[in-house]
Amino acid sequence: MIVLGIETSCDETAAAVVTDDGGARILSNVVLSQLDEHRPYGGVVPEIAARAHVEAIDGIVAEAMTEANMSWDSLDGVAATGGPGLIGGVMVGVMTAKALAYARDLPFVAVNHLEAHALTVRLSGDEAGGEIAFPYLLLLVSGGHCQILSVEGVSQYHRLGTTIDDALGEAFDKTAKMMGLGYPGGPAVERWARNGNPARFDLPRPMKGRPGCDFSFSGLKTKVRQTIEGLPPGELQDGDMADLCASFQQAAGDALVDRCGNAIDMFLDDHPGGGPLVVAGGVAANVALRSQLETLADDKGLGFAAPPIELCTDNGAMVAWAGLEHLRLGHTDNLNFKPRPRWPLDPDAPKAAFAGVKA
Ligand code: KG4
Ligand code: ZN
């Protein structure tokens, strides 16, 4: 099967072609980041994002098809992120995919953006190139989400824990903003942290030691602000910046390890011999956090897998792949599909307490 995927739910306009013929493979993966448009505002401005998607989408899709050396007739379907995300952007991708599907008489699949992150590892495989089979345990950490789920199959998720306030990507972004590091914060914090002392500042490990595997990051963010206020006024010194980034990243990693430790125990109770622990979403691009989680998984006797760094942040390949997984099972969507600003992976999980959490 060969599928075109379109991603427009946040600040990347992306399109890709993937196949499972002779094994899962990416035939093209074109990502246009809107960073320059949003940077002056220190975050993603939904209206600007939607307009930028409209301007870019046709060219990005054409580029993905050309790079893959594909004719429209070779495709088996067109997939687009149908939510959750910034609705103006989601509408652009969904309408484009519907129009292509209608014009070329191809099946259309509306993909849950979170499921696209969740299944990416089945496209990329494990380190030895092996296939990741269900069930596995997923830590999904992005700009809008921080959840732990047991992935039972396509469309089958059981949420074990979620954040009760901020998502971890959001905490990275806000920490960076407080230090004047600009947007997006995650990669900048990671860069500065490399030269910093993670033990210099005493920051909290929220929820550590508590039962269950819910997360909380707002207290950590507040402590970062108080720490900055406690430093000499004026611009932060490079050494302070590096130490604070390192201390923040270490605290976040320790919190993840504590929560995921409990989640692994819960997961293995239900799925003896199941695994691996998979980390996905934009924050999964963080090498230090990946390595802390890999050590935890090793200690617990569970395998570990993560998509390659470039497939952690938003891209079209993950959407195309999720679409392909659905098409293989005969799932398609009607052309009257309505974009969904909220779309939880586990609809039976209790609603998250914090209004900013999208699922
Ligand atoms: O998955 P994603 O591209 O978009 C959403 O679906 O939210 O994730 C974006 C988030 C941002 O908060 C960004 O700061 C964070 O992922 N991020 C990182 C890193 N790269 C991206 N966080 C920590 N370390 C990184 N290297
Ligand atoms: Zn994402």
Q: Which residues pair with 331 in a beta bridge?
A: none
pLDDT of amino acid 301? 94
Q: H helices of 86-214, where?
A: 87-104, 113-124, 168-178, 185-193
Examine residue 127 and state whether it is found in any structural domain, yes or no.
no
pLDDT of amino acid 126? 85
Alpha-carbon gap, residue 79 to 17, rounded angstroms: 10
Q: Measured at the alpha carbon of residue 352, what is the angle toward residues 347 and 354, in degrees to the nearest 5?
A: 150
Alpha-carbon gap, residue 89 to 199, rounded angstroms: 41
Which residue range(s) make up the domain with 19?
2-120+311-358
Residues near ligand 1 (Cβ within 6 A): 10, 142-144, 169, 172-173, 184-187, 190, 281-283, 285-286, 313-314
CATH number of the domain to which 259 belongs: 3.30.420.40
What values do phi and psi take at 65, rounded to 5? Answer: -70, -40
Q: What's the structural domain count of the chain?
A: 2
Alpha-carbon gap, residue 300 to 305, rounded angstroms: 14
189 and 329 within one domain? no
pLDDT of amino acid 183? 82
91 and 80 within one domain? yes
Q: Which atom number of ligand 1 is nearest to the Cα of residue 183? A: 14
49 and 18 within one domain? yes
Q: How many CA atoms are closer than 13 Å to the CA of 277, on its beta-carbon side?
A: 30
Residue with CA closest to ligand 1 atom 8: 282
pLDDT of amino acid 355? 45
282 and 150 within one domain? yes
64 and 13 within one domain? yes
In the block, residue with structure tokens 């519907």: 98
Examine residue 178 and state whether it is found in any structural domain, yes or no.
yes
Taking the centre of ligand 2 as the mean of its atom positions, its distance from the CA of residue 77, in whole angstroms, is: 22
Examine residue 188 and state whether it is found in any structural domain, yes or no.
yes
Other CB atoms closer than 10 Å to residue 188's CB: what's the count? Answer: 21
Q: Which atom number of ligand 1 is nearest to the Cα of residue 185? A: 14
269 and 250 within one domain? yes
Q: What is the pLDDT along the chain (359 residues), one digit of tens a residue?
A: 999 999 999 999 999 999 999 999 999 999 999 888 888 887 889 999 999 999 999 999 999 999 999 999 999 999 999 999 999 999 999 999 999 999 999 999 999 999 999 999 999 998 787 899 999 999 999 999 999 999 999 999 999 999 999 999 999 999 999 999 988 899 999 999 999 999 999 999 999 999 999 999 999 999 999 999 999 988 899 999 999 999 999 999 999 999 999 999 999 999 999 989 999 999 999 999 999 999 999 999 999 999 999 999 999 999 999 999 999 999 999 999 999 999 999 999 987 655 444 44
145 and 100 within one domain? no
Q: Which atom number of ligand 1 is nearest to the Cα of residue 176? A: 14
Q: Measured at the alpha carbon of residue 350, what is the angle toward residues 344 and 355, in degrees to the nearest 5?
A: 70
Examine residue 189 and state whether it is found in any structural domain, yes or no.
yes
In the structure encoding, which two tokens stand for residue 237, read together? 């010194």
pLDDT of amino acid 354? 54
* CA-based nearest residue to 33, from 16, 58, 13, 8: 13
Ligand minimally distant from the alpha carbon of residue 284: 1
Residue with CA closest to ligand 1 atom 3: 313
Examine residue 42 and state whether it is found in any structural domain, yes or no.
yes
- At 109, is the secondary structure helix, strand, or coil? strand
* CA-based nearest residue to 49, from 5, 356, 57: 57
Q: Are strands 77-83 and 2-7 parallel, antiparallel or unpaired?
A: parallel
Examine residue 21 and state whether it is found in any structural domain, yes or no.
yes
Examine residue 175 and state whether it is found in any structural domain, yes or no.
yes
